[in-house]
Amino acid sequence: MTYEELKQIDEQYYMKTFGARLPVVFTGGKGAVLMDSDHKEYIDFLAGIAVNCLGYADVGFASALKGQIDSGVIHICNYFYNEPQTRLAQLLCERTGFERVFFANSGAEANECALKLAKKYAADKGNSSDRFVALKKSFHGRTLLTLSATGQEKFHEPFRPGAYRFTYIDANDIEAAKAAVTADKCGVILEVIQGESGVLPLQKEFVSLLRTLCTQQDIPLIIDEVQTGMGHTGKLLAQEHYGVHADITTLAKALGNGMPIGACLSSSPFADAFGPGDHGSTFGGNPLACAAGLYVTERVDADMLSRIESTGGYFKEQLLALKERFPKIVTDVRGMGLLLGAELSEKKDAHAVQHALIAKGFVIGTAGSNTLRFAPPYCISRGQIDLLIGALSELFS
């Protein structure tokens, strides 16, 4: 099917949730390179929005999935034990220091689980409140509850009244945090790097304060690592950079390298709040998704973190050099590891740059009001980074 045929059918039958898509159909890939229906190659700096961490056509990943498919057991319900699920649960808990995990199908579902768990813990203590603290400019998912947790008014208006109640404070506002984190709250949810708002890292002092306040009030600190987790920042969890340990944390995206899986990890006593029947999922934790997660976790943890840190450091240096060369166009560079953002001035529209780069054979994302977002596969090379920087230099010139 040609690009024009696909476009016409998609526009006729698919709900208009994504608006006008970028004008390309990808049909194959290898490493950090994608190929479209006309056999044109593109270097991928988006990875399906921080999902395809191992890139494309990874032999070991394909073998892990094929082995599970060949077993004949792609799905079994959670009435029964499930070896890939059990092994992945053990590996994630042992590696991260959490005690229990629940597997879902997405980051939004993992965050939904985290918020429900916190609410149940509060209820068990006799706290009937449904109030949480969240950050302005945050993003936590598309379900009704996770949209409510998202601190961006544009997501709330069409879907009021939402679910639960959230007090939104500015990131890094120490006094606002002290005023908001009180014993009547059910928990605090945050991203240590706000991805959808423009790759905005929080200040260490602010995160540490929230950790202390949550401990003092006996409410859980929930850290959403859906976009930052599984190595994107050079650590398995981005919270490791901040010297804190959440009570509840969530993973998805890179955990499955393209397979739909999310995880909600928790430590006691919060993990013990869920009992039989309090939560569940038909597809969450199925053997195929967990076989993917098991391979990714073992691979990333074994030999990729130092490479991510090194390559990400080089990438950030090149973006900073680009900022120095074009200070009236690139106004800020931020992020960690291979999760980076370059904010543009009003002179350049980020979406226009994204489209121009597609034409040149590069896939990137955008975030926030005017930020270029980069979250490439972990196999991206310095040479491929240099090619992107060269293409950006041409556009900015």
Based on the fold, state whether residues 227 and 177 are members of the same structural domain. Answer: yes
Angle at 232 between CA 151 and CA 245, to 5 degrees: 65
In a domain, 63, yes or no: no
In a domain, 391, yes or no: yes
Q: Name the domain count of the chain.
A: 2
Boundary (domain end) residue, out of 303, 338, 355: 303
Beta bridge partners of residue 334, listed in sequence order: 341
> Can you give the pLDDT at residue 1?
84
Q: What is the pLDDT of residues 122-139, one digit of tens each?
A: 999 999 999 999 999 999
Based on the fold, state whether residues 295 and 327 are members of the same structural domain. Answer: no
* Across 298-319, average pLDDT: 96
Is this prediction's pTM over 0.95?
Answer: yes
Report the distance separating Cα 240 and Cα 375, nearest Å.
Answer: 19
> Can you give the pLDDT at residue 2?
86
Report the distance separating Cα 71 and Cα 346, nearest Å.
Answer: 55
Q: What percent of the chain is modeled with pLDDT above 70? A: 100
Boundary (domain end) residue, out of 303, 327, 347: 303
Residue 302 has pLDDT above 90, yes or no: no
CATH number of the domain encompassing residue 212: 3.40.640.10
Query: Where are the extended beta strands (E) located within 267-383?
Result: 330-336, 339-344, 362-363, 365-367, 371-374
Chain-centre distance of CA 235, in angstroms? 14
Single-letter amino acid code for the residue at 361: G
pLDDT band at 277 (very low <50, low <70, confident <90, very high): very high
Q: Of all helices (H) and strands (E), which one includes residue 298? A: helix 287-303
* Across 327-331, average pLDDT: 97
In a domain, 221, yes or no: yes
How many helices (H) and strands (E) would you count in the chain? 13, 17
Cα-Cα-Cα-Cα dihedral of 18, 19, 22, 24, to 10°?
80
Judged by DSSP in three states, 266 sits in strand
Report the distance separating Cα 376 and Cα 356, nearest Å.
Answer: 18
Single-letter amino acid code for the residue at 336: M
Single-letter amino acid code for the residue at 134: A
Domain that holds residue 327: 3-58+304-396
> Can you give the pLDDT at residue 172?
98
Based on the fold, state whether residues 389 and 297 are members of the same structural domain. Answer: no
Based on the fold, state whether residues 255 and 133 are members of the same structural domain. Answer: yes
Boundary (domain end) residue, out of 240, 271, 303: 303
> Can you give the pLDDT at residue 303?
86
